[in-house]
Structure 1
Amino acid sequence: MNGDTHHDRKVSCRERLCQVTWGWYSMSMATGGIAVLLYNTPHQFTGLETIGKIVYIFNLVLFLTITFCLSIRFLSKSSALKESFQHPNETHFAGTCLLAFATIIIGAESYGTSSCGPWLQVALRIVFWIYLALAILEAVFHNWYLYHHHMASRQPFALVRLLPSFPAMLSGTIASVLAAKQPREHALPILIAGTTFQGFGFLISLFIYGEYFYRLNKSGLPQPSERPEMFIAVGPWSFTALALIGMANAAVEKFPPRYIISYADPSSGRTGAVTTGDIALVIAALAGIFLWATACFCLCIAIVSVLAPCRAFGGSGAPGMSLPYWSMVFPNTGFVIATIRIGQVLQSEAVLWVSSVLTVLQVAIWLTAALGTIWAVWSRRILWPEKVPQEKGGDKEC
């Protein structure tokens, strides 16, 4: 810091809290994702579930804290909410609130089922449909707003434009977790809705991928400070793979034996040896492997791009801690869980061990990002009014 003269003046806690933006929900997304990952990792040890519950509860506190800080910001200045949507970078991150909430829903199913009664399944079913309605509204109206105000011309980094449609896509991931514990009459519509909006979100992401790869080929890599956001590209492929396999696995039990197939021969009442759910699982597994390979490619490109500026690799030095570094956690968590699902469906112990190693690495990245954020806040590198122009996410003074 050059002199740090701006650090000498007093800044109230309220002023610092008013620097919290929509992008801070990426920390809750990441933390909730880690809690879900710890629950799903194939090689468990005594106490791991307890650790996962602690992380999940911590994420609840983190989500509420970020919401509280944003509320202070928006209530302190009447135009702050409007300005957050007018900022070319911050507006794209409004959807991270729903994404963080999605990890809370999945975590509640994972950790709450063994501790709560049947009421939890009813509550989660209701919350799923509420989440789906909010995700649809976010996808339609937020994208329309971005198109209407030509936000793409003010935000050249294409990948962040995935975020308004990402909550709808994550409906499939939620459905893959909830459907297995729901009664058949409720599981069927959840699975169909999950498939519908998983497909919608994934296809929307393909359109944005086209621009993203075109810009990489034409203009080269983004600025070093933006490169951690390249990990967002890992998300749609990974979450689609794990959602398809998870929903198909639930379909084996929840689909009637001749569901859909009976349309071709409605007069036949026979039960075939191969059911609709079996067919869905085979197709989903093969499609999941197909998608996983592309996710792995995007992951490798992002890793090399982020490491390239580091002095250890001959670069001039990596940028200091900022919110984009949290993009390295949530999408990669989806990649690790997708690897777990593939290992389970292929019954491959080798793949499962690889996923366990990836789990350890992912937790290490999460801890590094958390410690880096704490240090950056303490040293006034972020959440400091006069540092606003250098922060991603469009932080504003109250």
Structure 2
Amino acid sequence: MSGLSRRMSNSSQTSNSPLLPRSNGDGTHGWRDVLENKMTWAWYTSIMSSGGVALILYNLPYGFPGLWVLGGIIYIASLVGFILLLATHIVRFSLKPRLIRASITHPSEGLFVSTFAAALGILIVDGATYAEKMHTAHGMALRASFWIFLVVSVIFGVGSPLTQFSKAQHGEPETTPLATQTVLPLTLVGYAAATVAAHISTRDHHIAMPIIYMGIAFQGMGILVSLLSLSTFVDRLYHYSLPPISQRPSMYVAVGPPAFSALSFSLLAEQCLRHFPAEKTAPGGANEIFGGVALYYILFTFSLMLWGLSLWFFLISVFTTLAALGQMDIAVQQLQMFALIFPNVGFSLATIQLSRLFGHPKVLAIISEVLSLTVVGAWAIVVLATCYGILSGRIFRTV
């Protein structure tokens, strides 16, 4: 199956789909079949999750010296994986150009097109985060990468939903939040903006402020559009009950947009206060209500509210999944699990960030540490399962 389908089954595919698996006469799958039908956009979820885990390891409240080395290795591996995937997709679409349109409009793979841009954004944040440890940060390169990511995120964050809107589908109402993945890159713009702004000197606030402003604007775009989709998801839960057992884990996708927005707004709040201080020489003037002080409290308030919303979705997802755990088929596809780990990466990072802003109160710090290590452990299991699936060939028969 191509990626994480809306029904998490083959029922969403039509018999004439160019993305349906094809086999040779003896039932085996050749390299061209794998390239055309298996190397879908969903593979970028592995880059997103791996890059996010590298960020978790860097920001753990109780991390030990040298832990950043492990995170750096994961970051480098993610970067190499992204380049290899990009090259693979260039070959894939070069061999059969009609697959570009087919993949974008496909009912399941189309939902994962924006994960390419999201993976790019996570790698930019990783590069800026690990710059001080692994190499010297190049300010101009970081700023250029942000503006490039902004353009790419808008293209994918607008184009992908537009493609979904244009498809006339009148099937059974969907009760999973997978549609939010189409605007996923927009919910990472603020994170990238805050990370890049942190590497800009306060003497160059005139350079940092446009980045911060655009980060706030497009982060707002991403979270508000996501909330519209999530409100529809909750409304359908009221009307059509919980998703089928096989689809319960997909509910974790709803955690991602508010979690990453909470993280982004809290980081942007810090950068507003840093680059726009409340003093007479600040661009805002002499009145302390102007400048970074006001923006700090506004953004911090938004961050707390969105973290609370992500906590609600997280708890709902946990309890509904646990309730069906005994009946759930554990033979899920590895790429599905990467897509479900990434939202929890955002929730872990947001919890760590808020814990840090509150001065690392012991209870919150321990909770964020346990949550983060759980996400890292789940990611490690999925990576090992994916490696086994690739080596055994199983993943190319089922993805």
> Quick check: TM above 0.5?
yes
TM-score class normalised by the smaller sequence? 0.7 to 0.9
Structure 1 unaligned blocks of 5 or more: 264-268, 392-398
- Aligned with 2:221 (options 179, 188, 200): 200
AA aligned to 1:300 is: L
Shift of the 151–74 alpha-carbon distance from structure 1 to 2, 3 Å rule, reads farther
From 330, 336, 343, the equivalent of 1:331 is: 343
Deviation at 1:158, TM superposition (A): 5.0
Q: Distance in 1 between matches of 2:205 and 2:170?
A: 43
Cross-structure match for 2:87: 68
Which residue is 1:210 aligned to?
231
Name the TM-score, length of structure 1 as normaliser.
0.86
- Which residue does 2:161 correspond to in 1? 143
Match of 1:90 among 82, 89, 109: 109
Could you tell me whether the CA contact under 8 Å between 2:223 and 2:257 is conserved in 1? yes
Name whichever of 75-84 and 319-328 sits farther off.
Answer: 319-328
Q: 2:250 aligns with which of 195, 220, 229?
A: 229
Measured at CA, do residues 152 and 141 of structure 1 come closer, stay the same or move farther in structure 2, by a change above 3 Å?
farther
Distance 2:76 2:214 in 1: 28
Contact kept? 2:176, 2:243, Cα under 8 Å: no
CA distance 1:62–1:39, shift in 2 (3 Å): same
Structure 1 residues 285 and 251 mapped into 2: Cα distance closer, same or farther (>3 Å)?
A: same
What is aligned with 1:301? Answer: 316
Task: Note if 1:174 corresponds to 2:204.
Answer: no
- Find the residue that maps to 2:395 and give its secondary structure: coil
Please state whether the residue corresponding to 1:329 is helix, strand or coil: helix
TM-score of the aligned structures, taking structure 2 as reference length: 0.85
Equivalent of residue 101 in structure 1, options 112, 120, 124: 120
Q: 1:86 to 1:154 in 2, by over 3 A?
A: farther
- Does residue 187 (structure 1) correspond to residue 208 (structure 2)? The answer is yes
SS in 2 for 1:171: helix
Aligned to 1:266: none
> What amino acid maps onto 1:346 in structure 2?
F
Q: Which residue of 1 aligns with 2:141?
A: 123
Measure, in 1, the Cα distance between the counterparts of 2:82 and 2:95.
20
Distance in 2 (alpha carbons) for counterparts of 1:84 and 1:40: 36
Instruction: Tell me, in whole angstroms, the C-alpha distance in 1 between the residues paired with 2:212 and 2:94.
Output: 39
- 2:354 is matched with which residue? 342
CA shift at 1:153, angstroms?
5.2
What is the CA-CA distance between 1:151 and the residue it aligns to?
5.4
1:47 corresponds in structure 2 to: 66
Query: Residue 383 of structure 1 aligns with which residue?
Result: 396
The C-alpha deviation readout for 1:124-158, integer Å capped at 9, x for no partner, is 10111111112112222332222122358588355
1:303 is displaced (CA, Å) by 2.0
Distance 1:199 1:318 in 2: 37
- Cα shift readout 1:46-104 (whole Å, capped 9, x = no counterpart): 22011111000010122122223323322232311121012111112100001001111
* CA 42–14 in structure 1, closer or farther in 2 if over 3 Å, else same: same
Whether the 8 Å contact between 2:276 and 2:291 is mirrored in structure 1 is yes
Distance (Å, rounded) in 1 between the aligned partners of 2:213 and 2:291: 14
How far apart, in 1, do the equivalents of 2:390 and 2:355 lie?
40
Task: In structure 1, give the amino acid aligned to 2:189.
Answer: S
Q: What's the CA shift string for 1:164-198, capped at 9, x where partnerless? A: 22212211111121112113121100000000011
Q: Name 2:304's counterpart in structure 1.
A: 289
Amino acid at match of 2:300: A
Instruction: Find the partner of 1:374 among 352, 368, 387.
Output: 387
- The 3 A distance-change label for structure 1 pair 154 and 146 is farther
Q: What is the aligned-residue RMSD (CA, Å)?
A: 2.6
Q: 1:262 to 1:249 in 2, by over 3 A?
A: closer
Distance (Å, rounded) in 2 between the aligned partners of 1:23 and 1:82: 16
Report the CA distance shift for 1:158/1:232 in structure 2 as closer, same or farther (over 3 A).
same
1:356 aligned partner: 369
1:252 is matched with: 273
Does 2:51 align with 1:32? yes
TM superposition shift of 1:327: 2.4
Aligned AA for 1:178? V
Task: Measure the CA separation in 2 of the matches of 1:367 and 1:155.
Answer: 34
CA contact (8 A) 2:352 2:365 kept: yes
CA positional deviation for 1:271: 5.7
Give unmatched runs, 5+ long, in structure 2: 1-22
Q: Distance in 1 between matches of 2:96 and 2:336?
A: 26
**Offset of 1:278 from its aligned partner?**
2.7
Displacement of 1:262 in angstroms is 8.0
Q: Find the counterpart in structure 2 of residue 22 from structure 1.
A: 41
Q: What displacement does 1:122 show?
A: 0.7
Contact 1:158–1:211 (Cα < 8 Å) also in 2 = no
Q: Which amino acid aligns with 1:253?
A: R
Q: Which range moved further: 135-144 or 121-130? A: 135-144
Structure 1 residues 59 and 340: alpha-carbon distance in aligned structure 2, compared to 1, 3 A threshold: same
Paired with 2:294 and 2:97, the residues of 1 have a C-alpha distance of 55
- What's the counterpart of residue 13 of structure 2? none
Give the conservation status (yes or no) of the 8 Å contact 1:309–1:318: no
Q: How far apart in 1 are the matches of 2:193 and 2:334?
A: 33
Tell me if structure 2 keeps the 8 A contact 1:146–1:152: no
Partner of 1:394: none
